[in-house]
Amino acid sequence: MNFDLNVVPFSRRGTFLAISELPEAGERQEGLYLRTVRGGDDKFGEAFLIELLDKHGQFIPYEAQASPSLLRLDTDSAPVYAEVCMTDAHTVRFRTKGCGLRLTFRTSAYDYAYEHSVGNWEVNSFTHECRFMLISLTGKLQMEVPWDKIKSSRIVAEFSPEEGTDSVEFAVQEFRTVWEPCESWAPWEQAAGAVREEFDAWLNASLTVPERWQAGRELAAYITWSCLVPDEGCLTRPAMYMSKNWMTNIWSWDHCFNAMALVRNNPKLAWDQFMIFFDRQNESGLIPDFINDKYELWNCNKPPIHGWTLAWMMQRTDFIKESHLREVYGPLCRWTNWWFYYRDHDGDGIPQYNHGNDSGWDNSTAFNNGIPVESPDLATFLILQIEVLAEIAGLLGLTDESAAWRRLGEETLERMLRHFWKGGRFIACRSGTHEVSEGDSLLLFVPILLGKRLPQHILQSLLEGLRDESRFLTPNGWATESVKSPYYTPDGYWRGPIWAPSTMLLVEGAAAAGDIELAREVSHRFCSMLDKSGMAENFDALTGEGLRDRAFTWTSSVFLILGHEYTT
């Protein structure tokens, strides 16, 4: 498998490092960059520009060929090339044939470089909050690091072959505090082969899909494998970032879909993905909107899909034991109660979203008339979460608590139907005034997750809407805003494009309602689109073109889940 570095970064499991082709922007020139994704998506993190050099020090054009374990830079002058391999979480190995290689670091703040020891130069990057050691293994290293009062004004490292040879080997190691020299370096073939074996093992453990989508499966497996970062800083467990392009965080509903894709074959890692936000839970019960290694964001949050997720996972693994249920029960209780206590300002028993971001559907037309908004999807998630809490309480012998949760679930379902089912459809409305929102959003079909808990006439109406090929159902799946709506926009984020989470939720909803044929048909359309267009953040509903960030883990995870669950 090869992939385009303009779209999918070259990286590996357990590292904050990545290599990408980047366009010209500001002072940055177009080219191939070694990056770090530390610090979240408020930093882009380009560290070193990578260039091939001829024997006169002139740039040699190349074409990048990236695979999961090896990045090869081929030139028109065979056998002149370079290879790059990320051999562990902190090390990038380089070797060249018939050429040299230059790394250029654009400095700012107090960035500097100095010779640490013979053949080893430390680059201390205040900008990236880490350090890099440039380690010459074979060949010559020439550094250009002019000093400018408090920093190096530029840092240029040129690695070139020794006289009479035609190759170079060197490494770049990332570290934060103290660098420990490597006692010995494995031969290149051995080091690269170990990475290839590691990815192959991950691929083999990934969910199977029909043969026609094997290219998509390999890409999805690579993206999920390569987006894992270590448990450092605010990250209490190994974490699967949404991407190593721009969305270099984990959000508090995205992580659920990644956990679901892992639970059958990698349940320990799946549990880590599911629990990581509860590790950072506020005493009020709130969990943060997103986390990265450096900080958490508390300005908004995401919907409580965690009970639904946990129930789904429990049905598919024997890994989740009593100890896991005891670990999650208290945090899930607090998260559920938070919505009823802190997000029901008009006291009608129907919790609200204070902003579109809180729903995950940031700019959905459900929020057209202003905020806060009461929406039936939120009530649905809470009902499902309450039911799971009732089940867990029963399994833990908490009989009274189990009964109390069941009563709350029944009451919430009754209130939800009275509150939102109007004129043969579900509506969203302003909290307090209950002014009905404009638009025709797919968000209002999420209650189908309740399946047979809903009256038959409501289920039938929801299914008819989801089957309507002139409204939501396109050749590629469900648009997030009806294609007939005046608010529909092809690249309108949640006002038209197809998304993985909405697809996953509603496929499961169609199945819960008893329409397995619809669930399979939409899964087939969606997976076919992804196999063709890649694992983008979202997709043009009519053309299937990938939009925004195009190497997204939750898209990859949903592809694997639906391809395995509904099309095999």
Q: Is residue 240 part of a domain?
A: no
Burial of 34 (0-12, 13-18, 19+ CB in 10 A): buried
DSSP string, 230-295: -S-TT--S-EE-S-SSS--SEETTHHHHHHHHHTTT-HHHHHHHHHHHHHT--TTS---SEE-SS-
Q: How many domains does the chain have?
A: 2
Whether 216 shows a pLDDT value over 90: the answer reads: yes
Q: pTM to 2 decimals?
A: 0.97
Q: Is residue 33 part of a domain?
A: yes
pLDDT tier at 27, thresholds 50, 70, 90: confident
Whether 568 shows a pLDDT value over 90: the answer reads: no
Q: Tell me the C-alpha distance between 404 and 386, whole Å.
A: 10
Angle between helices 456-467 and 500-512 (to 10 degrees): 140
Q: Quick one: 500 and 384 in the same domain?
A: yes
The range of the structural domain enclosing residue 292 comes to 251-565
| Sequence-ordered list of residues with C-beta below 8 angstroms from that of 289, at least 6 positions apart, any chain | 251, 252, 296, 297, 298, 299, 300, 301, 302, 357
Q: How many CB atoms lie within 10 A of CB 377?
A: 28
Q: Is residue 360 part of a domain?
A: yes
pLDDT of residue 41: 79
pLDDT of residue 26: 87
Mean pLDDT of 135-161: 96
pLDDT tier at 45, thresholds 50, 70, 90: confident
Q: What is the pLDDT of residues 203-213, one digit of tens each?
A: 999 999 999 99
Strand partners of residue 95 = 83, 169
pLDDT of residue 185: 96
| CA angle (274, 235, 261) in 5-degree steps | 30
> CATH code at 479?
1.50.10.10
Q: Is residue 528 part of a domain?
A: yes
Q: Quick one: 327 and 460 in the same domain?
A: yes
Q: What is the pLDDT of residues 393-435, one digit of tens each?
A: 999 999 999 999 999 999 999 999 999 999 999 999 999 999 9
Q: What is the pLDDT of residues 106-146, one digit of tens each?
A: 898 899 999 999 999 999 999 899 999 999 999 999 999 99
The residue among 327, 388, 358 whose CA lies nearest residue 252 is: 358
Contact 219, 555 (CB under 8 A): no
Q: Quick one: 150 and 255 in the same domain?
A: no
Half-sphere exposure of 514 (CA within 13 A, CB side): 7
Q: Tell me the C-alpha distance between 227 and 206, whole Å.
A: 15
Mean pLDDT of 222-241: 98
Q: Quick one: 164 and 286 in the same domain?
A: no
Q: Quick one: 137 and 257 in the same domain?
A: no
User: How would you write 18-41 as a 3-class SS string?
Assistant: EEEEECCECCECCEEEEEECCCCC
Mean pLDDT of 303-332: 98
Q: What is the pLDDT of residues 51-60, one digit of tens each?
A: 999 999 999 9
Q: Tell me the C-alpha distance between 388 and 314, whole Å.
A: 10
Whether 508 shows a pLDDT value over 90: the answer reads: yes
Q: Is residue 232 part of a domain?
A: no
Q: Quick one: 282 and 412 in the same domain?
A: yes
pLDDT of residue 136: 97
The residue among 248, 269, 250 whose CA lies nearest residue 313 is: 269
Q: Is residue 182 part of a domain?
A: no
Whether 67 shows a pLDDT value over 80: the answer reads: yes
Q: What is the pLDDT of residues 510-520, one digit of tens each?
A: 999 999 999 99
Q: Is residue 238 part of a domain?
A: no
Mean pLDDT of 456-485: 98
The residue among 442, 423, 418 whose CA lies nearest residue 359 is: 442
pLDDT of residue 240: 98
DSSP string, 103-115: EEE---TT-EEEE
Q: Is residue 399 part of a domain?
A: yes
pLDDT of residue 311: 98
Contact 384, 307 (CB under 8 A): yes
Task: Tell me what percent of the residues of the chain surpass a pLDDT of 90.
Answer: 96
Whether 43 shows a pLDDT value over 90: the answer reads: no
Q: Quick one: 417 and 518 in the same domain?
A: yes
Q: Quick one: 262 and 168 in the same domain?
A: no
Q: Quick one: 170 and 268 in the same domain?
A: no
Helix (H, G, I), strand (E, B), or coil: what is residue 551? strand
Q: Quick one: 172 and 286 in the same domain?
A: no
Half-sphere exposure of 51 (CA within 13 A, CB side): 17
Ramachandran angles phi, psi of 416, nearest 5°: -60, -45
Contact 445, 408 (CB under 8 A): no
pLDDT of residue 372: 98
pLDDT tier at 466, thresholds 50, 70, 90: very high
Q: What is the pLDDT of residues 480-501, one digit of tens each?
A: 999 999 999 999 999 999 999 9
Q: Quick one: 282 and 406 in the same domain?
A: yes
pLDDT of residue 78: 80
pLDDT of residue 504: 98
Q: Quick one: 354 and 491 in the same domain?
A: yes
Mean pLDDT of 363-390: 98
